[in-house]
Structure 1
Amino acid sequence: MKDQDLGKLIARVKDGALSRRSFIKKAAAVGLAAPFANQLLAFNGVAMADSTLPYKPTKAGGGGPLKMLLWQAPTLLNPHFASGTKDQIASRIFYEPLAGWDKEGNLFPQLAAEIPSKANGGLSADGKEVIWKIKPGVKWHDGKPLTADDAVFTWEYAADPATAAYTTGAYKDIKVEKIDDLTIKVIFKAPTPFWADPFVGVAGMIIPKHHFGEYKGAKSREAPANLKPVGTGAYKFAEFKPGDILTAERNTEYHVKNQPHFDKLEVKGGGDAVSAARAVLQTGEYDYAWNLQVEDEVLKRMETGGRGKISAVASGDIEFIILNTTDPLTEVDGERSSIKTKHPTLSDPKVREAINLLIDRDSVQKFIYGRGGVATASFVNQPAQFKSSKLKYEFNVDKANKILDEAGYKKGSDGIREKDGKKLKYVFQTSINAPRQKTQQIIKQACQRAGIDLELKSVTASVFFSSDVANPDTYTKLYVDMEMYTTTQPQPDPERFLNQFVSWEVATKENKWLGRNVSRYTDKEADAAYLAAQKELDPAKRAALLIKVNEIFCEAHVVLPLLSRTRVAAALNNLSHDHSGWDVDTWNLAAWYRS
């Protein structure tokens, strides 16, 4: 579809001659996914649709308790420190952004009175300013009103380098001004095609100035509200035992009429994905279980029990491996895997190329994940127009052996290759759950055939994904040679997702290992393409720049994509829930109900 043809279709939608649904279908026919089509409409002045879970209860309360399982147990409740999805999910119970993302990739207003568009004056023609109007009458759980001052403070808090917020990437390069008590203006330094990042979704949760004002910057970790949240959400904090259980009660003054349905909320942490699935699908002890990274055949057998059902939604999430190009054994200035060091062998691109050839992605998909993922060589897979058509994967042990032979790595008497006294022996780390341990075994066996020895390390999920800066086994520390996990794409646009590949986001001791670039690998061309994409208003050119960032890291074989993940959860048959692949599971918890 040519740009002028696309423009004509958008004009027809604006004039009412073409429905939004018809436009999205036409866009899909030429490869533009629904989320991107919706963003094109919004940028050109067509307000986003308010489509989400239809809510049937006619009054708030009366639903009894809602029991959820997060088998990776939450450890903190400050959304701006939450580097793990489990902590983001738990924080979203209490805190809300101005808008969230529904499963169709639409922006849905939460604390905002409306979604900004050109039509309502919320988006400037030059792409540099966004005006958000805050919903009137919203109160914090302690009864104080939500105002523009809280939004401005949230920006100041997250943007301050001393706060060391995980969300700093969304706020550090913008300016936020208060227009009146219920209106703010977000000002970008340059034309910004994807403006729905600050105050939106995972990175967007607004925190109360009157509870965090004294704890901005260096004192940020001392705030009592880090563990005892005071938010605007549908449920008020009751009790939290990190790594175990979280309870909440219905917010009787919630700002949405007749919501929430449930009177109490219990979020149980710990255990494993299989037991979580069983507790919903077979025993019915819990209403909802998150992130069921379980072999698909096992889930199918459990579903025959008839108590619950699997909910699988498309997402941009990716299961992948990082090969550490820094030295995890050498400590510099109090940290290992320092960017000032170089890995003895994984800094060699030939070794990384060989390891990539030793991953049998098709078998991992077919025999382990099933509905849970699709084999891929691309870090970005959704929406489709951002996926590289260039990247391909191959499983070829013979080819891997040849590459290592030509690179000078010879097998010793123990069968392990070495060069200049440096053996190809690595610690391969991931979190504890059956699919990941089975994937580790598949990769280990193939590596053995090529003279590479892997020591498999499995870390309890609540530890591996913890936001605890004192824990040496968190995935952001990368104190091993290679590690595997899933990272979530928080919105239907990969710009923020790809800041994992920029130099200014490297995870270090200085930023409390909350920088999003866990790999530590940097590339000047990737930095330049990313910065250019942030300013490029032409959709096709911008997509090409973001694809380039993705390709640089994948072709360097620092990041080895395995599976484009589907988000899989389990729910009781009588639970109506709002499961989005573009936001956390609790993004619209207020609208859940039991039928």
Structure 2
Amino acid sequence: MKKIALLAGTAAILCGTMAHAERGSDGHLNILYWQAASNLNPYLSGIAKEVEAASLVLEPLARFDENGELVPWLAAEIPTLENGGLSEDLKQITWTLREGLLWSDGSPVTSKDVVFTWRYCSDPDSGCAAAAMFEGIETVEAVDDLTVRVDFSEPKPYPYTAFVSSEAPILQEAQFRDCVGSRIAQCSEQNMHPVGTGPYVVDEFLTNDVATFSVNPHFRFEDKPYFETVTIKGGGDAAGAARAVLQTGEMDYGWNLMLSPDVLESMGTGGPGEVVTVFGSSVEYLFLNQTNPDPALGAERSTAQAGAHPIFADPRVGQALSLVIDRAAIAEVLFGETGKPTCNIVPAPEIYASTANDACLTPDPDKARALLEEAGWVDDDGDGIREKDGIKLSLLFQSSVSAVRQDTQALLKQWWSEIGVETELKSVDASVFFGGDAGSPDTRQKFYADVQMYTDNSKGQDPETYLAHWVCNEAPRPETQWQGDNIQRFCSEEYDALAKKYHATAAPEDRAEVARQMNDMLVQSYTIIPIVHRGIVSGKARDLEGVRLNSWDSMIWNIMDWKRKKAE
């Protein structure tokens, strides 16, 4: 708590008060997120392409800096025991807004907007992507215009989840009051053009294409942001984004340049841009569907009503798939210095990193074959594909379009074929795969496949909310408009009990122990298979200053401080 109190005292430095030039004096900023945003409401998806684009406009009470440390944002300070913001029984936290905050339409930001945001996301019919961050809240009350009191149903030793990070910003009640419950995804104007408190306002938004922004005239820092206008262009691929920043200079910043190390090295030499990498807790995972995705099941496919997956109901199959993966080879060849082989859901910070699963770092194809034989999967007809009870060991494996991901898919297909598993590969445009469109059959949430692969990570250094993704009720389903973070539909009463224990555990060492237990339970369920602990690679113009990449929150979290280097 003392560390947080010290950070609160340095908020002015982190939010930026040093003069550079007049607001907007650096002209236009071009950003390329090749995974295009589908909307500008992070509560609809929780995926980076929406969350980060929206972070130019929508802001939380507090967020995490580039080191994963908590810093105040719309709040005047971080509530602690020392400053009286946390109650002694840890059942209450009181936030105080900065004075003079205005929405971009000129109206005042009040505690009622914070209360509304809680009601908006906690409505059981909303399918809110950040629902886990609001778990355990009993009431949220506006004490006065600037003061918000949050009461928890039980002691909450780590209360910095709701209203914290770019995934849980404050919404304007006046704009969103008619968009609660089942209407959350139907308010197109609000979701595409939110009113915010951030450095920019939305001028134009085209779904899965481009968003244009201009300076928020009511932004709280008179000399910021330094760029007058911003364009976030979507579409294309990582290679095109890299070229646009590193070689041609068309773009000032390119996000998530997921390319092989040799390609990045060749592109990043001698051009107008440079490669920058930041490590946090991001991991490239395989998710193994625990429900039946058979199209014949219609609306029930990939839901609990469809029943258990006909292949993965036996965890030995998932274990066999994991055993043949050469994680070190994938990390070295496809990620280089930006990837490390891992066996953990939470690989960082070190206190949370388990060592119980390190055997996964050594492939063992013989053991994998023995497990499949033991489970009854045999190749009786000699076609190289195992079968059991008339079912072929054949998998549909999908991921987003990315050269590195397609290369990874190809390697996995080859290794799995060597133990008698047939694999059909599918790649989906990233804007669709990571989109929140409840009507699309190709989103990661729908999971109309057997296996899928992508990266996810926790926000901030404490993974309580992140590990809560895998409680039973977080599974995406029609009733939640297919929102939810338990992508593989894992469900365990024991795991849910650990999540509650984590929620109530205070001592840092004890919290870390519970977190490791949850990590190990997930890994050893073989419903989710970690492969590579990833650094997030970006490209930026060499004359772009003030960029502090942040994998714990939004990569562009401090965009108000970005500026163009002045010619000497």
Scaled by the length of structure 1, the TM-score of the pair is 0.91
* Distance of aligned partners of 1:397 and 1:56 in 2 relative to their CA distance in 1, 3 Å threshold: farther
1:416-445 CA distance string (max 9 Å, x none): 001111110000110010000000111111
Which amino acid in 2 is paired with 1:561? P
Which amino acid in 1 is paired with 2:485? R
Farther-moved stretch of structure 1 (541-550 vs 115-124) = 115-124
Which amino acid in 2 is paired with 1:336? R
* Distance of aligned partners of 1:423 and 1:193 in 2 relative to their CA distance in 1, 3 Å threshold: same
Which amino acid in 2 is paired with 1:285? E
1:213 matched to 2:177? The reply is yes
Taking the TM superposition and a 5 Å limit, the aligned residue runs for 1:371-450 are 371-392=337-358, 393=360, 394-411=362-379, 412-450=381-419
Distance (Å, rounded) in 1 between the aligned partners of 2:562 and 2:147: 29
Tell whether the 8 Å contact from 2:277 to 2:537 is kept in structure 1 after alignment: yes
Which residue does 2:134 correspond to in 1?
Answer: 171
Which amino acid in 1 is paired with 2:93? V
Which residue does 1:556 correspond to in 2?
Answer: 525
1:44-80 CA distance string (max 9 Å, x none): x884643648655142111100100000000011121
1:74 counterpart (13, 25, 37): 37
Distance (Å, rounded) in 2 between the aligned partners of 1:454 and 1:218: 37
1:186 matched to 2:143? The reply is no
Distance (Å, rounded) in 1 between the aligned partners of 2:428 and 2:223: 43
Which amino acid in 1 is paired with 2:356? K
2:292 counterpart (324, 327, 333): 327
Distance (Å, rounded) in 2 between the aligned partners of 1:263 and 1:81: 28
How far has the Cα of 1:90 moved from its partner?
A: 1.2
2:244 counterpart (259, 269, 279): 279
Taking the TM superposition and a 5 Å limit, the aligned residue runs for 1:276-355 are 276-329=241-294, 334-340=299-305, 341-355=307-321
1:543 matched to 2:512? The reply is yes
Distance (Å, rounded) in 2 between the aligned partners of 1:289 and 1:332: 41
Which residue does 2:202 correspond to in 1?
Answer: 237
How far has the Cα of 1:374 moved from its partner?
A: 0.9
Distance (Å, rounded) in 1 between the aligned partners of 2:74 and 2:14: 16
Which residue does 1:162 correspond to in 2?
Answer: 125
1:174-202 CA distance string (max 9 Å, x none): 12111110111111222212211111103
The number of residue pairs the alignment matches comes to: 556
Which amino acid in 1 is paired with 2:159? W
SS of aligned partner of 1:215 = coil
1:532 matched to 2:501? The reply is yes
Tell whether the 8 Å contact from 1:47 to 1:119 is kept in structure 2 after alignment: no
Tell whether the 8 Å contact from 2:255 to 2:538 is kept in structure 1 after alignment: yes
Farther-moved stretch of structure 1 (335-344 vs 375-384) = 335-344
SS of aligned partner of 2:42 = coil
- Superposition RMSD on alpha carbons, in Å? 1.7
* Distance of aligned partners of 1:257 and 1:118 in 2 relative to their CA distance in 1, 3 Å threshold: farther
Which amino acid in 2 is paired with 1:115? I
2:538 counterpart (559, 569, 587): 569
Which amino acid in 1 is paired with 2:166? V
Distance (Å, rounded) in 2 between the aligned partners of 1:46 and 1:245: 36
Distance (Å, rounded) in 2 between the aligned partners of 1:349 and 1:107: 38
Tell whether the 8 Å contact from 1:49 to 1:106 is kept in structure 2 after alignment: no
SS of aligned partner of 1:67 = strand
Which residue does 1:28 correspond to in 2?
Answer: none
How far has the Cα of 1:335 moved from its partner?
A: 2.8
Which residue does 1:22 correspond to in 2?
Answer: none
SS of aligned partner of 1:237 = strand
1:515 matched to 2:517? The reply is no
Which residue does 2:106 correspond to in 1?
Answer: 143
SS of aligned partner of 1:534 = helix
Which residue does 2:439 correspond to in 1?
Answer: 470
1:247 matched to 2:212? The reply is yes
Tell whether the 8 Å contact from 2:24 to 2:226 is kept in structure 1 after alignment: yes
Distance (Å, rounded) in 2 between the aligned partners of 1:420 and 1:566: 43
1:589 counterpart (556, 559, 563): 559
Distance (Å, rounded) in 2 between the aligned partners of 1:334 and 1:593: 50
How far has the Cα of 1:331 moved from its partner?
A: 5.9
Which residue does 2:63 correspond to in 1?
Answer: 100
Which amino acid in 2 is paired with 1:373? G
How far has the Cα of 1:219 moved from its partner?
A: 2.3
1:532-564 CA distance string (max 9 Å, x none): 010011221221111111111111111100011
Tell whether the 8 Å contact from 1:197 to 1:203 is kept in structure 2 after alignment: no
Scaled by the length of structure 2, the TM-score of the pair is 0.95
1:472-504 CA distance string (max 9 Å, x none): 100111110100000121221111111122112
Which amino acid in 2 is paired with 1:522? C
How far has the Cα of 1:333 moved from its partner?
A: 7.6
1:343-387 CA distance string (max 9 Å, x none): 111111221111111211111001001122211011111111111
Distance (Å, rounded) in 2 between the aligned partners of 1:525 and 1:121: 35
* Distance of aligned partners of 1:40 and 1:311 in 2 relative to their CA distance in 1, 3 Å threshold: farther
Which residue does 1:9 correspond to in 2?
Answer: none
Which residue does 1:460 correspond to in 2?
Answer: 429
How far has the Cα of 1:133 moved from its partner?
A: 0.9
Q: Sequence identity of aligned pairs in percent?
A: 37
Distance (Å, rounded) in 2 between the aligned partners of 1:160 and 1:331: 32
SS of aligned partner of 1:180 = coil
How far has the Cα of 1:257 moved from its partner?
A: 3.3
Task: List structure 1 segments (4+ residues) > 6 angstroms apart after TM superposition.
Answer: none
Which residue does 1:117 correspond to in 2?
Answer: 80
Farther-moved stretch of structure 1 (146-155 vs 327-336) = 327-336
Unaligned runs of 5+ in 2: none
Which residue does 1:88 correspond to in 2?
Answer: 51
Unaligned runs of 5+ in 1: 1-38
Which residue does 1:259 correspond to in 2?
Answer: 224
Distance (Å, rounded) in 1 between the aligned partners of 2:7 and 2:75: 17
SS of aligned partner of 2:231 = strand
1:127-185 CA distance string (max 9 Å, x none): 22111110111111111111111111111111111222111222243121111101111
How far has the Cα of 1:525 moved from its partner?
A: 1.2
* Distance of aligned partners of 1:56 and 1:578 in 2 relative to their CA distance in 1, 3 Å threshold: farther
Which amino acid in 2 is paired with 1:220? I
Distance (Å, rounded) in 2 between the aligned partners of 1:404 and 1:217: 45
* Distance of aligned partners of 1:560 and 1:248 in 2 relative to their CA distance in 1, 3 Å threshold: same
Tell whether the 8 Å contact from 1:48 to 1:107 is kept in structure 2 after alignment: no
Farther-moved stretch of structure 1 (128-137 vs 328-337) = 328-337
Which residue does 1:8 correspond to in 2?
Answer: none
Tell whether the 8 Å contact from 2:40 to 2:54 is kept in structure 1 after alignment: yes
